[in-house]
Structure 1
Amino acid sequence: MWEMNGTEVAIIGMSGRFPGAASVDAFWEMLCAGRDAFVPLSDEQSLALGADPRFLQMPAFKRVMCAMGGVDQFDPDFFDIPKSFANVMDPQQRIFLECCWEAFESAGYNPSAGGDVVGVFAAADQSSYLIFNLIPEMPRLMGEITIDDMESANSNDFVASRVSYHLNLTGPSYTIKCGCSSALVAVHNACNALLEEECDMALAGGVSILVHKLGGYLAEEKDFHAKSGRMQPFDKDASGFIRGAGGGVVLLKRLEDALSDGDNIVAVIRGSATTNDGGDKAQFSSSSVSGIAAAAIEGLAVSGAHASSLQYLEGMGLAWPTDDHIEVRALSHAFRADGALENEFCLLGSPKGNIGHLSAASGIAGLLKATCAVDRGFIPKIANLEHPDPKIDFPSTPFVPVLENQEWPESNGPRRAGVNIRGAGGTNVFMVVEQAPPQERQTQRRAAYFFPISARTPTALATIRENLATFLTEPKQRLQPADVAFTLQIGRKPFAHRMGWVATSLEELIEALRGDEAPVAFRGAHEVSESVDPVFYYGSVDESRLLAELHFIHDEPICSTMFINLWQRAGLNNDGGLGFLKRVKETNLDGLEEVDKAVAHLLACYVITDWWRFRGVTPRAVVGQGLGDLVAAAVAGAAGLPQMVALLRQCLQAGGEVGPDDLPVRFKVPELTWYSGLIGGDSGFKGIPVPEYIEHYRAGACKKDEAFAEIENAGFMYIFDVSGKDQPSGVEPALEANGLRVAHGPFTDHFILSQVAELWLAGVDVQWKQFYGEDHPHRVALPSYPFERQRCWVDRQSATRP
């Protein structure tokens, strides 16, 4: 059973980069394969990576690298950072910034959308890049960068603030510094900030890059560094740790909010606690049984989870015999204190045998591994663990070190794991993570969906297209078209270079993604701009158009309500708007008088206009032809709706001179520019006499060419046929020859989406959520933006590139 107490926090997005793994999925694959990232080096390679030549003569020097690739690479243009500044930025700041963006996109959120208060809780080591690369080159760099800029670009005080600045996040933002437990303390603080409602979402994690450790390390007899050249957590031959590199971030949200918002919940943090050892240990950097145990006892209590319900524990696993022994002893004490008296019921793991010790980022690596385990129902073995240390006496503890990969099926409740970490100064953290509760998924209701992609450059756009096609064809994917479309629409920042496809299924989308082009494909390159707001066009009434309008309104609940309200405002007969819609649905237009059809067309266009507005498609001007000109006048606000209905009736009456006493309305200056297809030009600002207008209407006057000419002269780019029609109205060729685009077609899902696609490609800020009505699609994890990285690095004079 999934039991909730209201203090749970959902992990809705995650990202990471580690040695041998450029993403969380790659990290998980590496863990499951049991691979490690400890690379032996030759003398030449060590020297090329910056090792001191004197070290090569020392027996204690280990020619081993556990480095993350691409630390010298960054995409400054993506974040609008000058290249000169990016060159001197600590790679920790750069990698953490990229990870935060990827965590947002992993969750299906556009970091630039705004609306939510987002906090940033970061952890990072001191900048070795500043010490070993920048300070020696200071005289040369002073012509390119100021001291203040160099300080802010390399101080770990500003890792969180850097993210808040570049992503425009306004929640609490600070960096945690307490040694190896820093990243998990950052997550702990982020959870508390969410529960205290200091923010709506929170980014939390850590990063650690030591550029001077790339070429190898010294492993003196009495220090903690591995003498064997590999890390072996909980092994009888463990001889210490190897410094790795990497970083990771989770995006967090209160569980109740994540459930109601349809978020992609990867796992749930039930609770956590942090303590310090105080003086109860051998020396400052030593572990403490009492300190670690206290954090675990408190963490279990806060989470409301009994120790016996934890089936897996992600340990520190520092691979130093004394430290590993103290950790297991302390956690055993905590489990026993919580009443878990059985032995060997909880599997014990650690990622350090794969990626080394990540210092300030260690906790986030453990959390990401535990999160993947509870989510995917699989527990990877501990890499390089061959013979569990007999001095730990595992059979008398609750724990069993994982020697082989194991499936983790669901039992009577959610899969649940603990994560333990401690810092050299004594700051301990214990966190309980569990499988996400089941979420209801709606079946697909729409006939088609629009799948947009965009990028800063054509090259990145092509990569996104390729990555999406590859991702969707993976056997593990079980996605709904609505969820994919929804995530691409609202979970990605819209950039200038754009493409999109209207498709009825993911199979059809994959075919379109992999094809050269398709009839339903759209392509454009436009920035968001007010100048692309369209002119709304309203045509004359005909039965096919009117039926499409009324059937659409009948089937869209929000439109039905609007139509009924307008019917009442217009003072129409007692049949009622709902009764009218039902009658049309059942009998089409049989028995309707022409005037009734005309009035219905006016009201329908009014409703559909508001329907489009609600979705972000807002006109800056209107134009009409025939009866559509009256609709345009009504939408523009040239008169109130009841008056426009009365005017319509009078226009449809045959013959008779119109006197002052017969006038149902006087035109006023409209709220929108009204280009009249009857009078010609910008009618709203010419004070058209109503009698003259009625006479023109009755005479069948047509000055649409003059109206369209003024539209062209005003610089509009797009004419939008509001309700659609099977055939074009005849004005398209001349207009399109002059650069105006005119959309027309039957009022179906495909037509609506095609209209939206054209507008979005042109730069309209479409309100995608409003297109789903009573449907509630979910955000899903899709491939993130492909950064176009370039080398941003200052070389040390004594070394070549990393």
Structure 2
Amino acid sequence: RFPGGVSSPSDLWALLAGGVDAISAFPTQRGWDVVGDGFARVGGFVEDVAGFDAGFFGISPREALAMDPQQRLLLETAWEALERSGIDPNLLKGSRTGVFVGGTDSSYDTVGEASAELDGYRLTGGSSSVLSGRIAYVLGLEGPAVTVDTACSSSLVALHLAVQALRSGECSMALAGGVTVMATPEVFAQFAAQDGLARDGRCKAFAASADGTGWGEGVGLLVVERLSDAQCNGHQVLAVVRGSAVNQDGASNGLSAPNGPSQQRVIRQALASAGVAAAEVDVVEAHGTGTRLGDPIEAQALLATYGQDRPEDRPLWLGSLKSNIGHTQAAAGVAGVIKMVLAMQQGVLPRTLHVDEPSPEVDWSVGAVELLTEQRSWPVVDRPWRAGVSSFGVSGTNAHVILEQAPEVEPAVRVEVVPSVVPWVLSARSELALREQARRLAAYVEADSGLDPVDVGAGLVSTRASFEHRAVVLGTGRDELIAGLAGLASGELGAGVVTGEVGQSVAGEQGVVFVFPGQGSQWVGMARGLLVSSPVFAERMGECARALAPFVEWDLLEVLGDEEALGRVDVVQPVLWAVMVSLAQVWRSFGVVPAAVVGHSQGEIAAACVAGGLSLDDAARISAVRSRMIAGSLAGRGGMVSVGLPRAEVELLIVRWEGRLSVAAVNGPSSVVVSGDPEALAELVVAGEAENFRARKIEVDYASHSAHVEEIEAELVEALADIAPVEGTVAFYSTVTGELTDTRDLDAEYWYRNLRETVRLADTTRALAAAGHGTFVEVSPHPVLTPSLEETLFESHPSAVVTGTLRRGENELEQLLAAAARLHTRGVPVDWSAVVGRGSVVDLPTYAFQRERYWPRPRAAAGDVRGAGLVSLSHPLLGAAVELAGGEGVVFTSRLSLASHDWLADYLVNGVVVVPGTAFVELLVRAGDEVGCGVLEDLALERPLVLSERGAVQVQVVVGAPAESGRRAVSVYSRPEETAAEAGWTRHASGALASESTMPSGAELTVWPPAGAEPVPVDDLYDGLADAGYGYGPA
């Protein structure tokens, strides 16, 4: 954050490349209208230093108000610096990451009225040690946390200490930089008193016209890592700190006076640390404050070091960022480093502003040093580009850093399969922030047509933290993804957008449950899309095909599109088994690993296999052999019907058919499947129509889970006698028993019971919920059990998460990713890198902080009690009261300005801020309360009270002595503060105060709307008032 609206490195480069002068008038929102004259009221100011997203960092509003804004800015920039470095800040918790911050006292604790409710936070809120400590605390960093105060060299010294700590192994990574916020104008007044402030507030570094420094403020942080670690971790290296040095002037020619020999020594020490000659450095970002004393001394030191023994065609180029943004004090050094890093990236040396001609106080002929009075390309050399950066503190501490161009990196070669559907994963602390995040990302992608959507997706999942409010935008291309973002930003969600909030569900409490249905989820062509788009799925399907091969005469992959083959039970059941097992493997590759599994009828074979209780070969044997027996002995002799009634009612209902029907499955509270003879089932369907209950035929021609199955018991048990179930690694909940079951018991007899006995899905689902499971994934080509699961779970777990995997006839990868998105947005961990891979580095938008204003009310907000008299009033518009000697009159004093009462700017008349009539009413009623006459009987508004953008007005409310009736005359006066000695008082309002109202009884409004009132439309009310010249703001 730097002056000129700079809030990112790209903003700073735009300012530099455009030669922007960011010096501006004093801010109007800090209460600075109380300062005197004697210097230009301009400087370099950061926009909205009072704004802060306290909730994002888990800080209460009261603590945020007590916190030095420097701490607040550092928290935001620390987060952004890590995001821009491709690092999820949450992943650093507990790491040996250090924090080295240069900073000085901002005098924030002297701003505003004292408030007892902030007392518990003032110590940490104003302590300079907490500048670094707050970052470490909030992010959970456990390396060194050091705040450095060497005045103007603080941030460069902080960088030097960070580099040393990295080299010594004290930390694995570091945040280094500095911050300055001018909470009061004191530094301007103090430096002006020493004749050190430029008349126009601008730094004219090394110029003949230099007449003093110009103050600025800002914050900058660098992420610093050992080069080898950065390369190993895949972090983009922007530049290398080749060397650095720090020294002190010692007993020189004055405590605050710069010392040339000391500056030469620190430069030579830095060059020695870097192991390079002075002639191998191309440019120096100078301290360059524009003072008549300091600049010549610094220039001579540079001429004596860098200016010697250089090729004639390669002078040292010299510049200063302070000419653009002012002297940002403790942040000046890091600002210079960022400028030089950006210049290396762009290959351009920006010009220094305000140089009419080089200072005549310097003999420029003694060395090869030239000022960057014009922007120019970085000189072409046969080595890496290098730059020096200098910072010199008023206390005598000097620092110099040698930066080097980042080493070239071979372009990353993508080895992953590029997905045909790309997920863009976003999250935020609030819904508003999530929408703003979407808007920012959409604008970013639209502005760069060359961005690869997969690279964007990879960056979002690998470099950004996950928060409670989540969204996943799915698309097959750039335009589709941007459209999804636009819908998310506007709140009009499209089909490819999934949103959710973590914390509204029991998702992930005891892990995910995989649910495998029986027959019914199949469709012609299922799984063929995933065979192409998912290598994991294709590999597992190949393994299943090999496991099935000894037991079937058809090819697994060929029959996926064969409608006739899929109509056979001995084909469709093994095929579904293979597809479900393979889908489970894809879920695992996404990081969604089941904590428990449950299967419905033949789905239990897949569940047991995924749980590790059955080998792939044994599971294939069970599915193929059993389905073949069903086809040979049971097919064509039975059927099934789904009934929408509770089990107890169904059991009473089927008594009519005297054993020809059985309860085959209980899927939910009012979802039961009946199996048995075809004729009896047909009669059941007719009964449903007549008696108004749902009875729908299921497209099968056999009666599983009925007495029909008993015919194949002996044959089935014998055929499966050789299977060898083992102890699984995942909890297996049996729908035969309705409870947790040891997979070692899944022998041949169990698989007969699985086909014969009632499927107790509802009971088993309740058991899973009772065990703490709240997330269920139906692993199948189409969801068939999801409604029943929801019905059962929502009895006691209304926030449970239930999702399918694929949908009949839909794009399979898109459906799979949408299901993953539903899990992710409800808090289930999903490894999205399995979809988008690592990708190339892209500089994504940083977090969209939702800032609120935290700035104390100025101490002089309503009146100066010391100057006004005796009695202080706790009122936003009145500050003091004075009883007049020799009578019973009272004068109330006030002081109004847009700096102290910024909300008054929300009432404009023809573009001019006017104190509203209601404010006069409040002034007079409050004054009346003080003298026992709290009723305002008469009021005449005589002249408008206008507030200018700058300056203040003194206000007096004069209450006269009481008349015989007890009434008191009252008037409101004002005069400009700046010309108070010469200006007279202007009366704006007058009236009468009384102790009791003389209005007739019943005149008050007791019913709304009052009788006879006519409603009028208000949708365009404010627009109409604005057209008429009345401007109303939020206040």
- Relative to the length of structure 2, the TM-score reads 0.66
Residue 497 of structure 2 corresponds to 521
| Structure 2 counterpart of 1:119, one-letter code | G
| Structure 2 counterpart of 1:317, one-letter code | G
Question: Is the 1:291–1:426 contact (alpha carbons within 8 Å) kept by the matching residues of 2?
Answer: no
Q: Which residue, out of 594, 613, 618, partners 2:588? A: 613
CA displacement at 1:332 relative to structure 2: 2.5
Question: Against the structure 1 CA distance between its residues 73 and 550, is the aligned structure 2 distance closer, same or farther, given a 3 Å change threshold?
Answer: closer
Residue 214 of structure 2 corresponds to 242
Residue 358 of structure 1 corresponds to 328
Equivalent-residue separation in structure 2 for 1:660 and 1:600 (angstroms): 23
Equivalent-residue separation in structure 2 for 1:51 and 1:470 (angstroms): 42
| Structure 2 counterpart of 1:325, one-letter code | P
- 2:474 paired with 1:505: no
Question: Is the 2:613–2:744 contact (alpha carbons within 8 Å) kept by the matching residues of 1?
Answer: no
Question: Is the 1:285–1:426 contact (alpha carbons within 8 Å) kept by the matching residues of 2?
Answer: yes
Residue 422 of structure 1 corresponds to 392
Residue 1013 of structure 2 corresponds to none
CA displacement at 1:552 relative to structure 2: 6.3
Residue 117 of structure 1 corresponds to 96
Equivalent-residue separation in structure 2 for 1:129 and 1:47 (angstroms): 10
CA displacement at 1:272 relative to structure 2: 2.3
SS where residue 400 of structure 2 aligns? strand
Residue 785 of structure 2 corresponds to 731
Question: Against the structure 1 CA distance between its residues 375 and 525, is the aligned structure 2 distance closer, same or farther, given a 3 Å change threshold?
Answer: same
- 2:847 paired with 1:785: yes
Q: Which residue, out of 229, 235, 238, partners 2:201? A: 229
Equivalent-residue separation in structure 2 for 1:238 and 1:458 (angstroms): 51
- 2:178 paired with 1:178: no
Equivalent-residue separation in structure 2 for 1:194 and 1:608 (angstroms): 46
| Structure 2 counterpart of 1:521, one-letter code | V
| Structure 2 counterpart of 1:792, one-letter code | Y
Residue 199 of structure 1 corresponds to 171
CA displacement at 1:232 relative to structure 2: 0.8
| Structure 1 counterpart of 2:498, one-letter code | F
| Structure 2 counterpart of 1:37, one-letter code | A
- 2:105 paired with 1:126: yes
SS where residue 212 of structure 1 aligns? coil
| Structure 2 counterpart of 1:674, one-letter code | F
Q: How does 1:69-148 map to 2 (within 5 A)?
A: 69-114=47-92, 116-130=95-109, 132-133=110-111, 137=114, 140-141=115-116, 143-146=117-120
Question: Is the 1:264–1:781 contact (alpha carbons within 8 Å) kept by the matching residues of 2?
Answer: no
Gaps of 5+ in 2: 630-711, 862-898, 903-1035
The number of residue pairs the alignment matches comes to 755
CA displacement at 1:201 relative to structure 2: 2.1
Residue 383 of structure 1 corresponds to 353
Equivalent-residue separation in structure 2 for 1:605 and 1:427 (angstroms): 69
Question: Is the 1:234–1:385 contact (alpha carbons within 8 Å) kept by the matching residues of 2?
Answer: yes
Question: Is the 1:262–1:777 contact (alpha carbons within 8 Å) kept by the matching residues of 2?
Answer: no
Equivalent-residue separation in structure 1 for 2:60 and 2:765 (angstroms): 45
- Relative to the length of structure 1, the TM-score reads 0.83
- 2:361 paired with 1:297: no
Equivalent-residue separation in structure 1 for 2:60 and 2:111 (angstroms): 19
| Structure 2 counterpart of 1:794, one-letter code | P
CA displacement at 1:280 relative to structure 2: 6.7
Gaps of 5+ in 1: 1-15, 574-579
Question: Against the structure 1 CA distance between its residues 602 and 734, is the aligned structure 2 distance closer, same or farther, given a 3 Å change threshold?
Answer: closer
Equivalent-residue separation in structure 2 for 1:532 and 1:483 (angstroms): 34
Equivalent-residue separation in structure 2 for 1:741 and 1:610 (angstroms): 17
Deviates more, 1:706-715 or 1:482-491: 706-715
CA displacement at 1:525 relative to structure 2: 1.8
Residue 68 of structure 1 corresponds to 46
SS where residue 306 of structure 2 aligns? helix
| Structure 1 counterpart of 2:62, one-letter code | S
Structure ID, larger Rg? 2
- 2:432 paired with 1:374: no
CA displacement at 1:190 relative to structure 2: 1.6
Q: How does 1:593-604 map to 2 (within 5 A)?
A: none
| Structure 2 counterpart of 1:616, one-letter code | G
- 2:780 paired with 1:795: no
SS where residue 199 of structure 1 aligns? coil
Equivalent-residue separation in structure 2 for 1:689 and 1:326 (angstroms): 88
Residue 13 of structure 1 corresponds to none
Equivalent-residue separation in structure 1 for 2:545 and 2:328 (angstroms): 67
Question: Is the 1:275–1:291 contact (alpha carbons within 8 Å) kept by the matching residues of 2?
Answer: no
Equivalent-residue separation in structure 2 for 1:484 and 1:689 (angstroms): 47
Question: Against the structure 1 CA distance between its residues 566 and 352, is the aligned structure 2 distance closer, same or farther, given a 3 Å change threshold?
Answer: same
Residue 8 of structure 1 corresponds to none
Equivalent-residue separation in structure 2 for 1:744 and 1:46 (angstroms): 56
CA displacement at 1:103 relative to structure 2: 0.9
Residue 7 of structure 1 corresponds to none
Question: Against the structure 1 CA distance between its residues 298 and 595, is the aligned structure 2 distance closer, same or farther, given a 3 Å change threshold?
Answer: farther
SS where residue 175 of structure 1 aligns? strand
CA displacement at 1:89 relative to structure 2: 1.0
CA displacement at 1:539 relative to structure 2: 4.4
Deviates more, 1:440-449 or 1:404-413: 404-413
Deviates more, 1:192-201 or 1:490-499: 192-201
Deviation string 1:244-292 (CA, Å, 9 cap, x unpaired) is 1111111122223323333233x21242222324437422222223322
Question: Is the 2:52–2:851 contact (alpha carbons within 8 Å) kept by the matching residues of 1?
Answer: yes
Question: Against the structure 1 CA distance between its residues 793 and 109, is the aligned structure 2 distance closer, same or farther, given a 3 Å change threshold?
Answer: same
| Structure 2 counterpart of 1:633, one-letter code | A
CA displacement at 1:177 relative to structure 2: 2.0
Question: Is the 1:335–1:341 contact (alpha carbons within 8 Å) kept by the matching residues of 2?
Answer: no
Q: How does 1:333-732 map to 2 (within 5 A)?
A: 333-335=304-306, 339-342=309-312, 345-394=315-364, 396-408=366-378, 412-436=382-406, 437-442=408-413, 445-475=418-448, 478-515=450-487, 516-527=492-503, 529-531=507-509, 533-539=511-517, 544-545=525-526, 555-556=535-536, 560=539, 606=581, 609-639=584-614, 644=619, 647-648=622-623, 651-652=626-627, 654=629, 655=712, 657=714, 663-664=721-722, 672-676=730-734, 679=736, 681-682=738-739, 684=741, 690-697=747-754, 704=761, 707=764, 718-722=775-779, 724-725=780-781, 728-732=782-786
CA displacement at 1:41 relative to structure 2: 6.0
| Structure 2 counterpart of 1:612, one-letter code | W
CA displacement at 1:160 relative to structure 2: 0.9
| Structure 2 counterpart of 1:765, one-letter code | P
CA displacement at 1:752 relative to structure 2: 3.1
CA displacement at 1:112 relative to structure 2: 1.2
Question: Is the 2:738–2:763 contact (alpha carbons within 8 Å) kept by the matching residues of 1?
Answer: yes
Question: Is the 2:548–2:624 contact (alpha carbons within 8 Å) kept by the matching residues of 1?
Answer: no
SS where residue 229 of structure 1 aligns? coil
Deviation string 1:359-381 (CA, Å, 9 cap, x unpaired) is 21110111111111111223222
Q: Which residue, out of 805, 808, 821, partners 1:743? A: 805
CA displacement at 1:187 relative to structure 2: 1.4
CA displacement at 1:119 relative to structure 2: 1.4
Question: Is the 2:778–2:785 contact (alpha carbons within 8 Å) kept by the matching residues of 1?
Answer: no
Question: Is the 2:244–2:274 contact (alpha carbons within 8 Å) kept by the matching residues of 1?
Answer: no
Equivalent-residue separation in structure 2 for 1:192 and 1:46 (angstroms): 40
Residue 5 of structure 1 corresponds to none
Question: Against the structure 1 CA distance between its residues 166 and 219, is the aligned structure 2 distance closer, same or farther, given a 3 Å change threshold?
Answer: closer
CA displacement at 1:24 relative to structure 2: 3.0
Deviation string 1:470-518 (CA, Å, 9 cap, x unpaired) is 122224x743222211221132222222222112333332222224433
Question: Is the 1:219–1:227 contact (alpha carbons within 8 Å) kept by the matching residues of 2?
Answer: no
Question: Against the structure 1 CA distance between its residues 287 and 41, is the aligned structure 2 distance closer, same or farther, given a 3 Å change threshold?
Answer: closer
Deviation string 1:310-334 (CA, Å, 9 cap, x unpaired) is 3322111111133212222212222
Equivalent-residue separation in structure 1 for 2:612 and 2:558 (angstroms): 33
